[in-house]
Structure 1
Amino acid sequence: MATVTSRKKSVAVNPLKQSQPLGAALAFLGLKGMMPLFHGSQGCTAFAKVMLVRHFREAIPMSTTAMTEVSTILGGEDNVEQAILTLVEKAKPEIIGLCTTGLTETRGDDMDGILRSIRKRHPELYDLPIVYVSTPDFKGALQDGFAAAVESMVRELPQPGETRFDQVTILVSSAFTPGDVQEIKEMVTAFGLTPIVVPDLSASLDGHLEDSFSATTGGGTTKAELREIGSSVLTFALGESMRGAAEILNQRFGTPYEVLQQLTGLDAVDDFLHGLSLLSKRSVPEKYCRQRRQLQDAMLDTHFFFGRKRVSLALEPDLLWSTTAFLQSMGAEIQAAVTTTKSPLLEKLPVETVVIGDLEDFEELAPGSDLLITNSNGAKVSRKLGIPLYRQGMPIFDRLGNGQFTKVGYRGTMQLLFDIGNLFLEEEESTVKH
């Protein structure tokens, strides 16, 4: 059992965490025809947009209610109404994802009441889903906002229907990249099952050229698919932060669920494929049997470089858990674990202490490590301490291909093994040479 501590500092130095509205916007971007709408000042939206553009190197649709000093004092209902009507006229979204920010949460706008009165005045909005999520950016982190957005989606959009025994719902946490989601979908469809992934970032932020320009997201989970979630035979919740959304579906439709903390590593992938095999009553396809043998060989090739290596990590809780479990399965030791927000997983981590803090705390704890794992903001810490950095999480703005990167399944685990193993190998060779 780990001891979870939170640093009592007046200010965050070299912040690690990203805001809840950014997390919610990322989740909304996995829905087709979506326009995330921030209820706050223009700066709140611009910051999140820049972060996502730098990470994915894609055009990111995002809008704002553009609150000013006056509207903040008098109330933001007119701004919300005007923003929604303008979006309907200009962007023609299929769904609007409405996130609050620290500004409007502090003021205490009654968002449910505002939306009810807007719909009453504008019956033409009847068929337009507006998914509202409360995301104050003065508390929580990206993972919390992402999870809250998914919970709002499954609370409002799915409808009851007859159970389809070949359809499964897959709730994917913020720890999984668009490339991860694509690999997961391929694994599920290989068993003859139809996955409905929420949110499906693999269809919107995987990095692809569209045939025509769209002001909203060009791909993702469709409105029709969201409606059909109530008919799924099972929900896979990938990441502890998706447990709440899975429980909502269980309460609404009686859909049983399984929470899988990771899909990286031999045992985790074995368990997932075994579950799909039992559900579909099909044997595991031969290509995965071969990939499994390739992964076993890769583990044999790389374990010399991982054994007894000390690694320090600064990641969101779900990603921290899966990366830690993977490293320890390869014989590495965790020297320091820093994270952004509370999670039931933290106390279960097989380390002595987990710190909810920033990259300054990470810098104090990491000396003596063989490897650092965090986002691109950890590059300064890496240079200062002279320790190699493996980039994980968000934002990663000094590497290409973040939309395509995958660490799940047998192939993704192999890629992770080789990427990190090569860093260890390079460091050993430079040390011997020196």
Structure 2
Amino acid sequence: MADVIPIRKPLSISPLKTSQVLGATIATLGLSDSMALMHSAQGCSAFAKAFFVRHYQEPVALQSTAMDPISTIMGSDGNVKKALDHLAQNSSLRVVVVMSNGLSEAQGTDLTRALREFRDEYPQHHKLTVLVVNTPDFYGSLESGYSAVVEAVVRHYVSDTASEPRVKTIRKKRINLLVGHGCTAADIEALQRLIEAFGLKATILPDISESLDGHLADQDYSSVSMGGTPLQELPRLTESIATIAVGFSVYRAGKYLAQHSEVPSFYFDHLGDLVQCDRFIELLIELSDHAVPEYINRERRQLQDALLDCHSVLNAVPIALAAEPELLSYWLAVAHMVGLQEQVVMAPSRYSQLVELPCEQVLIGDFSDLHQQLLATPAQLLIANSHAQRLAEQLSMSLILSGFPIFDHFGGFRQRRQLYAGVRDTLFELANQVHLQMVHRPVYHSPLKQSDVNDC
């Protein structure tokens, strides 16, 4: 259990927090034929797009309702309805997620009422699925925005399924896999391949392994998401034999699905150590009655060997963590496997899950607070997003990039972290950073060493 300690000050100087809207957009892009609509001014969506383009190095489908000073004062419901009407004319669009932000929340927009009026005024767009989530900037962070969209998707499709009278069908080889924002496209690909190796098929929600994996598509640009969870699979979530939720950010969606169906649910904070990975494999064995594939056994032995190789380098190395709770849980598990010592653990916002983290205390603050803490308790490694680059340079620390955004490192958006192979590669990355600091030390020569003729 951790003590959660907020740092009180009137403003954030160097924000660690990432807006809820960004997390909500990532989750939306994990749905096929979908689009995120931010109820905001154009500058707000343009600013958000800049983060996505730098992180994923790809264009991202994100629209705004183009609020202006007049609509902000007099009411902006009309902007929402006009934007939905305009988007609905795109024949390939099937889902729109309407998200609020700080501006529209402060203005007092009721998105649910605006959606109801849109349905009354534009009955010709009845086939378009519209989901509404409240994601203001003044509380929460990326993780809560991501969680809100996944929960909204599950609520919409599971509620619709429950209201339809029909014979209960169980698909014995189908499972639901809810993945948190801590899973990259590479992690999801590995999870899908692993589940298929056990003879099972997963409905992954949200699935960014095709929409945000960085590939050359047949078309130059698409106004809707390319890839993602097939929408026709969502009403059948209640027909699976199990639901597996990986990450704090999808726990609420998993619990709602469990409450409104007879599907048993299993929860994993992460897949970042031997215990959790073994537990995941054992669950797949139980669900499929299938033997463990040999390549998985080999990856497990490779991780065990990596632990032996890296332990002597990483043991007792002081580190600092600054990330969302889901990522903090992962990195603390990795740290405890090899004896890394967490000096400072910092989160961007208060979450109920923080008290469950395996550390003494978690601070709520920003990078300026982290700077002050590291001056008092120095660390050798810093694990955070790209906004920590300057801080790491000022304190001569090695920076391990994790989270969102990562804009000064190629391939960061699909770095594999989860499961045996992902943890193995993470250990090597940590050990290499520590080793780079060690090789610059001068070679030690004992004063007792006797001179050799060749040394003269």
The TM-score, its normalising length taken from structure 1, stands at 0.97
Larger Rg: 2
Is 1:110 aligned with 2:110?
yes
Indicate which of 386, 397, 404 corresponds to 1:394: 404
Q: What residue number does 2:185 align with?
A: 178
Is 1:342 aligned with 2:350?
yes
Code of the residue aligned with 1:110 in structure 2: it is D
Go from structure 1 to structure 2 and tell me whether the alpha carbon gap of 1:240 and 1:6 turns closer, same or farther (over 3 Å shift).
same
Is 1:204 aligned with 2:211?
yes
Question: 1:266 offset after TM fit, Å?
Answer: 1.7
Question: 1:111 offset after TM fit, Å?
Answer: 1.3
Question: 1:90 offset after TM fit, Å?
Answer: 4.3
In the alignment, the residues of structure 2 paired with residue 274 and residue 203 of structure 1 have an alpha-carbon distance, to the nearest angstrom, of: 28
Code of the residue aligned with 2:180 in structure 1: it is S
- 1:49-64 correspondence to structure 2 within 5 Å: 49-64=49-64
Go from structure 1 to structure 2 and tell me whether the alpha carbon gap of 1:86 and 1:168 turns closer, same or farther (over 3 Å shift).
same
- 1:26-65 correspondence to structure 2 within 5 Å: 26-65=26-65
Code of the residue aligned with 1:235 in structure 2: it is T
In the alignment, the residues of structure 2 paired with residue 11 and residue 185 of structure 1 have an alpha-carbon distance, to the nearest angstrom, of: 43
Question: 1:57 offset after TM fit, Å?
Answer: 0.4
DSSP-derived class of the 1:37 partner: strand
For this pair of structures, how many residues does the alignment match? Answer: 434
Question: 1:352 offset after TM fit, Å?
Answer: 2.1
Indicate which of 394, 407, 422 corresponds to 1:384: 394
Question: 1:137 offset after TM fit, Å?
Answer: 1.1
Code of the residue aligned with 2:203 in structure 1: it is I
Contact kept? 2:382, 2:400, Cα under 8 Å: yes
Deviations 1:64-97 (A, max 9, x none): 0001111112221211111111112247412111
DSSP-derived class of the 1:430 partner: coil
Code of the residue aligned with 2:403 in structure 1: it is G
Contact kept? 1:307, 1:331, Cα under 8 Å: yes
- 1:286-297 correspondence to structure 2 within 5 Å: 286-297=294-305
Q: What residue number does 2:235 align with?
A: 227
Q: What residue number does 1:122 align with?
A: 122
Q: Which moved more, 1:59-68 or 1:252-261?
A: 252-261
In the alignment, the residues of structure 1 paired with residue 295 and residue 360 of structure 2 have an alpha-carbon distance, to the nearest angstrom, of: 40
In the alignment, the residues of structure 1 paired with residue 412 and residue 32 of structure 2 have an alpha-carbon distance, to the nearest angstrom, of: 20
Contact kept? 1:6, 1:357, Cα under 8 Å: yes
DSSP-derived class of the 1:18 partner: coil
Question: 1:433 offset after TM fit, Å?
Answer: 5.5
Go from structure 1 to structure 2 and tell me whether the alpha carbon gap of 1:432 and 1:169 turns closer, same or farther (over 3 Å shift).
farther
Q: What residue number does 1:162 align with?
A: 169
Is 1:424 aligned with 2:434?
yes
In the alignment, the residues of structure 1 paired with residue 145 and residue 405 of structure 2 have an alpha-carbon distance, to the nearest angstrom, of: 16
DSSP-derived class of the 2:172 partner: strand
In the alignment, the residues of structure 1 paired with residue 246 and residue 321 of structure 2 have an alpha-carbon distance, to the nearest angstrom, of: 21
The TM-score, its normalising length taken from structure 2, stands at 0.92
Code of the residue aligned with 1:188 in structure 2: it is I
Question: 1:217 offset after TM fit, Å?
Answer: 0.8
In the alignment, the residues of structure 2 paired with residue 79 and residue 254 of structure 1 have an alpha-carbon distance, to the nearest angstrom, of: 41
Is 1:250 aligned with 2:258?
yes
Contact kept? 2:61, 2:222, Cα under 8 Å: no
In the alignment, the residues of structure 2 paired with residue 420 and residue 11 of structure 1 have an alpha-carbon distance, to the nearest angstrom, of: 33
DSSP-derived class of the 2:87 partner: helix
In the alignment, the residues of structure 2 paired with residue 83 and residue 155 of structure 1 have an alpha-carbon distance, to the nearest angstrom, of: 24
DSSP-derived class of the 1:421 partner: helix
Q: What residue number does 1:150 align with?
A: 150
In the alignment, the residues of structure 2 paired with residue 324 and residue 195 of structure 1 have an alpha-carbon distance, to the nearest angstrom, of: 28
Is 1:17 aligned with 2:27?
no
Question: 1:235 offset after TM fit, Å?
Answer: 1.0
Contact kept? 1:321, 1:345, Cα under 8 Å: no
Question: 1:195 offset after TM fit, Å?
Answer: 0.6
Q: What residue number does 1:80 align with?
A: 80
Deviations 1:151-204 (A, max 9, x none): 001000242552212111111111111111111111111111111111101110
Q: What residue number does 2:246 align with?
A: 238
Instruction: Calculate the aligned-residue CA RMSD, in Å.
Output: 1.4
Go from structure 1 to structure 2 and tell me whether the alpha carbon gap of 1:431 and 1:154 turns closer, same or farther (over 3 Å shift).
same
In the alignment, the residues of structure 1 paired with residue 304 and residue 134 of structure 2 have an alpha-carbon distance, to the nearest angstrom, of: 45
Indicate which of 205, 209, 223 corresponds to 1:215: 223
In the alignment, the residues of structure 1 paired with residue 235 and residue 127 of structure 2 have an alpha-carbon distance, to the nearest angstrom, of: 13
DSSP-derived class of the 1:47 partner: helix
In the alignment, the residues of structure 2 paired with residue 349 and residue 214 of structure 1 have an alpha-carbon distance, to the nearest angstrom, of: 40
Question: 1:241 offset after TM fit, Å?
Answer: 2.5
Q: What residue number does 1:192 align with?
A: 199
Code of the residue aligned with 1:25 in structure 2: it is T
Code of the residue aligned with 1:89 in structure 2: it is Q
Go from structure 1 to structure 2 and tell me whether the alpha carbon gap of 1:91 and 1:19 turns closer, same or farther (over 3 Å shift).
farther
- The unaligned stretches of length 5 or more in structure 1 are none
Code of the residue aligned with 1:300 in structure 2: it is L
- The unaligned stretches of length 5 or more in structure 2 are 163-167, 445-456
Contact kept? 2:39, 2:65, Cα under 8 Å: yes
DSSP-derived class of the 2:176 partner: strand
Q: What residue number does 1:134 align with?
A: 134
Deviating 4+ runs (over 6 angstroms): none
Code of the residue aligned with 1:105 in structure 2: it is E
DSSP-derived class of the 1:5 partner: strand
Is 1:414 aligned with 2:421?
no
Percent identity between the aligned chains? 36
Q: What residue number does 1:66 align with?
A: 66
Code of the residue aligned with 2:390 in structure 1: it is K
DSSP-derived class of the 2:12 partner: coil
Q: What residue number does 2:8 align with?
A: 8
- 1:245-324 correspondence to structure 2 within 5 Å: 245-324=253-332
Contact kept? 1:313, 1:338, Cα under 8 Å: yes
In the alignment, the residues of structure 1 paired with residue 66 and residue 360 of structure 2 have an alpha-carbon distance, to the nearest angstrom, of: 45
Code of the residue aligned with 1:341 in structure 2: it is S
